[in-house]
Structures are given as structure tokens and as C-alpha cells.
Structure 1
Amino acid sequence: MDTFDDLLKQAEIAHGHLCAGQILGVRMAMLGCARLGIEEPRGTDRKRLVTFVEIDRCATDAIGVVTGCRLGKRALKFRDWGKMAATFIDLASGRAIRISAKESSKALAREMYPEIENKNQHQMRAYREMSDSDLFDEQWVRVTVEPNEMPGYKGERIACDICGEGINYDRFIRRDGKTLCLSCAAPEERYYQPV
């Protein structure tokens, strides 16, 4: 695995700027990989790792850089829970660890660098230096990754009987003898509305 500083530079390039969330994400992913014994998540170990992220913020981009997990590879899974947390799963062993940022780390960062007024700046400096135990909570967990959620899964592609759009990865329902995409099955729950 690259060094912490090299990974931070890569995360900054991928994300567009360096911030406290990037530092948290890099450290969180490095810790998750270390706890699982995955030394080369983007290299020889790249097919072993699936990562669930719980926030759509800066840390998620950094986690993707460190782990090599991407939505397009089906190895990065997003759960919109608004938490600075991620779960790292070793598919080879079945072991999984959930790592979350401690809320107390913000106050500790202020205590460490009270002379720095800018919140992001004192957090960036402190988050580089804090111990893992001051920065994160760790919990070994069990995660079942269903076959249709696995990277490389090739499911049947079916067209929706209402809109005609293709549907991948078993993301359809059957109702009254028809195959429906999730959007047509519950139009009131769409993230968009036709105009």
C-alpha cells in the first residue's frame, strides 16, 4: 500500500481539494484494510474487498482512492445514513469491520490546536496526528453480500413492461404478471418526476 502522504495526494487529486474529511477517509480505509490484513487493496488483493460507506461526503472519495472500491465495479456500496462510517469486508475470509469517526475527535482537535481558528485547518492537522483509538470506533460485524450484489455478477437484463427501459441486477418486481422497474412500480417514490 502507498504511504499515508501519497494516498492523501491521490485523494486530493480525485476529490479536487484536501480537507479534514479526506484525511479521515484515508485513515479510515487504511485502518480497515490493516485490520483485515489486506495489504494491496488496489493490487493483488483487489477482488477481496467490498466497502459499504454511510455518507456521501469527502471521506467517501478518499475511501475509494485507498481501497480501489468503486460503484462502477460494484465493490463500493452506498447507504445514505449520514454517518462518517464505513464497513470493510474481506470476501475471502468473510470477516468485516465497521469503522466510524468518533464525534469526540472534533473537540479533541480543538483542544490540540486552540490557536488555529479555522475549524477545517485544526481538524486537518489534528486528524493527521491523533491515534486510531482517539479518532475511530471499531466494531467487528457480519455482513452478508448477496450473490447479486457481488462484483462481477452478471444477472439477466429485463425490460420494464411500462417504460421499456432495461433493468439490471434483479432490480425489478413482478406484479400482476408484469415486470416493473422500481421507478414504475412506485412512481410516488421516484427521485424524479416526469414533466
Structure 2
Amino acid sequence: MTKWEKCVAFHGHECGGLTIGYKAAIYAEKLLNITFSEDEDVVCISENDACGVDAIQVLLGCSVGKGNLLFHMRGKQAFSFYNRKTGKSVRLVLKEKPEGMSREESFAYYQNTEPKDMFEVKETTIKLPEEARIFDSYKCECCGEMTGANWIRIAGGKKICLDCYKTYDRFQV
């Protein structure tokens, strides 16, 4: 199975969006000398949550669960890639495509365009995030569900999860 076929199998179908992420990932591999990340050596911060993110997960091993796929939601087809081993990084921003293309024409355009012609290569604007932390867990003394320490609040001397915690707000409308 080719890399492209693996991406399609994971995503569920071929589309222009998947192609954008696919081309961004293979371009980042070349620019940063990276491969599939077994741990957190490669980090991607995506500025969207669209189809292309699936290709980045498949090709580069970036995932939310490992903590090396993060989202900085800006609605842009832009991806910042970081190589923790070398300290190098790059931000790839999709260039405008020719106007007036149908969905099928757009897919063909992205499939046949070289990554260097698809993306502007820029410096990253977001600092490399720290590696993922593992938090202690506490039982919410209201609902009884285990919750990471970073998301626990103390109210009335009790540990309360964010869902059960009532925010103090004196300016209700």
C-alpha cells in the first residue's frame, strides 16, 4: 500500500483537502529531514481541523493523544512543523489556486502540483510547545468522575471538575 493509499484508507475517501495535508506532510519531511514520529520528535500545529490533518497523522505520526498534534484554529490551510531533535521548524501556508475550478478540477490540480508550488514556506510564529505532561487524576467530589489535576477546581473545600464547577460571575445579564 502506498503512502497515499494509507491516507485514503484512514480518511475514508480521496479529496482535495486530504491532498493538501498529504503534500504538506511530504514537503515537511523533506524540509526538516523528518519521518514518522514514534513519540513526540515531530510536532504539527495545524491552523484548521480539515481533511488534510488526517494525512499528517498517517504520514508523520502526529496525534492528539501523543500530544504532538495541536490546533491553533485560524481557518487557514497552514501547518507549522517542528523537529525536536534538530530544533528546526517551518510553517507551510497553502497558496491560492486558480479561480473557477470545480471540485474535481481542484482535486486534480492539487494531485498534480508539486509541494514547493503549493505552499509558501515561512518561519513559524508559534513557539514549540513543551512535551505532553501526565497529570495526576482526582475524583470529582460532585459527579464522581476521574479528572486530570489541571482541570480540577476547589470549591467549598471539595475537588470539583469543570463540568460541575459553577464559575463565579457577579455580572449576570
Which TM-score band applies after superposition, normalised by the shorter structure? 0.7 to 0.9
Partner of 2:27: 31
Asked if 1:91 is matched to 2:56, the reply is: no
Confirm or deny: 8 A CA contact 2:46 2:53 kept in the other structure. yes
Distance across 1 between alignment mates of 2:76 and 2:56: 14
Partner of 1:181: 161
Shift of 1:93: 2.5
Size of the aligned set, in residue pairs, is 166
Change (3 A) 1:97 1:162: farther
**1:49 counterpart (42, 45, 51):** 42
Q: Which runs of 5+ in 2 are unaligned?
A: 168-173
Partner of 1:71: 64
Q: Which runs of 5+ in 1 are unaligned?
A: 111-118, 188-195
Asked if 1:135 is matched to 2:129, the reply is: no
SS in 1 for 2:129: coil
Partner of 2:51: 58
Partner of 1:191: none
Give 1 or 2: higher helix fraction. 1
What is the CA deviation profile of residues 15-57 of structure 1, one whole-angstrom value per residue up to 9, with x for unaligned ones? 110011111110011112221111x2256xx541121222222
Distance across 2 between alignment mates of 1:69 and 1:10: 15
Distance across 2 between alignment mates of 1:34 and 1:173: 45
SS in 2 for 1:57: coil
Alignment of 1:99-178 (within 5 A): 99-102=92-95, 104-107=96-99, 110=101, 119-141=102-124, 142-146=126-130, 150-151=131-132, 153-168=133-148, 170-174=150-154, 177-178=157-158
Q: TM-score of the superposition, structure 1-length normalised? A: 0.72
Partner amino acid for 2:129? V
Partner of 1:190: none
Q: TM-score of the superposition, structure 2-length normalised? A: 0.80
Confirm or deny: 8 A CA contact 2:82 2:128 kept in the other structure. no
Distance across 2 between alignment mates of 1:174 and 1:86: 37
Partner amino acid for 1:131? E
Q: Which runs of 4+ in 1 moved over 6 A?
A: none
Asked if 1:21 is matched to 2:17, the reply is: yes
Over the matched positions of the two proteins, sequence identity in percent amounts to: 26
How much is the aligned-residue C-alpha RMSD, in angstroms? 2.6
Distance across 2 between alignment mates of 1:183 and 1:99: 37
Confirm or deny: 8 A CA contact 2:27 2:116 kept in the other structure. no
Distance across 2 between alignment mates of 1:174 and 1:81: 33
Distance across 2 between alignment mates of 1:28 and 1:83: 13
Change (3 A) 1:129 1:49: same
Shift of 1:162: 3.2
